[in-house]
A and B are shown apart, each in its own frame.
Chain A
Amino acid sequence: AQTVTQSQPEMSVQEAETVTLSCTYDTSESDYYLFWYKQPPSRQMILVIRQEAYKQQNATENRFSVNFQKAAKSFSLKISDSQLGDAAMYFCAYRSARNANTDKLIFGTGTRLQVFP
């Protein structure tokens, strides 16, 4: 079974600085997708960035980028020029590319990010 581990329950960063959130995963599959989702307090979960396992190039979305190390099964999220609105719970998630049994996001336990002015 696949698992996702986020070893940092909480992180903090000063506004305009850069922060990196860690995520590792375990799988025997070769084809899968990885996601970072953001869940602000009492608000809906939204996609931050996604990565296809077959792509070697790291995904980038504006201030958000990932460091995807397939061999190490690592998928960290870097937030540059942090803003107050980035404060939220961040979940790393795994999704199989093909599985006859089930289709789901497997989430890590989350990292709560605080942003200080």
Chain B
Amino acid sequence: DAMVIQNPRYQVTQFGKPVTLSCSQTLNHNVMYWYQQKSSQAPKLLFHYYDKDFNNEADTPDNFQSRRPNTSFCFLDIRSPGLGDAAMYLCATSRDRFSNQPQHFGDGTRLSIL
């Protein structure tokens, strides 16, 4: 089945130690998104890629970066994680932007900071 796969499911890192979360998709969708979801809150968009075009949300901290080396893969890099960055990180894809097509979500990566 075509899907969105996030690895790992659970990630533990130390305060200030860089961490990378990965996302892959077999849907061949043009758009890939990264959302941050803190406990009992709604997901909040960090940034998205439309093909190779990177679109950062205005309020996304500089600590968060992303890479999309090809259509299938997208990475979320947190350069110096703080305690406030502990959250579920959701990757999603969409065939196109600004459309009625649904976003397809992965299972998420739960990040804990020690």
Where the two chains meet, the residues of A that have a C-beta atom closer than 8 Å to any C-beta of B are 33, 35, 37, 43-47, 50, 52, 91, 95-99, 102-105, 107-110
| Chain B, range 1-36, C-beta contacts under 8 Å to A | 4, 31, 33
Whether A110 contacts B42 in the complex (CB less than 8 A), given A95-B98, A103-B50, A103-B97, comes out as: yes
When C-beta atoms are compared, the residue in chain B nearest to A42 turns out to be: B107
B38-50 interface bits toward A, Cβ cutoff 8 Å, 1 = contact, 0 = none? 0011111100101
Q: Which residues of A contact B48 (CB under 8 A)?
A: 102-104
Q: What bracket does the count of chain B residues touching chain A fall in?
A: 20 to 34
Q: Which residues of B contact A110 (CB under 8 A)?
A: 40, 42
Q: Which residues of B contact A50 (CB under 8 A)?
A: 100, 102
Whether A33 contacts B42 in the complex (CB less than 8 A), given A45-B105, A102-B55, comes out as: no
Q: How far is the CA of A109 from the CA of B94 in the complex (A)?
A: 22
Q: How far is the CA of A105 from the CA of B98 in the complex (A)?
A: 10
Complex contact A103–B106 (CB within 8 A): no
Distance of B93 from chain A, by nearest CB (Å): 12
Q: Which residues of B contact A33 (CB under 8 A)?
A: 99-100
Q: Which residues of B contact A46 (CB under 8 A)?
A: 105
Q: Which residues of A contact B92 (CB under 8 A)?
A: 105
Whether A103 contacts B100 in the complex (CB less than 8 A), given A45-B105, A108-B42, comes out as: no
Q: Is B90 an interface residue (CB 8 A)?
A: yes
Distance of A65 from chain B, by nearest CB (Å): 17
Residue among B44, B98, B105 with the most chain A CB within 10 A?
B98
When C-beta atoms are compared, the residue in chain A nearest to B94 turns out to be: A103
Complex contact B57–A104 (CB within 8 A): yes
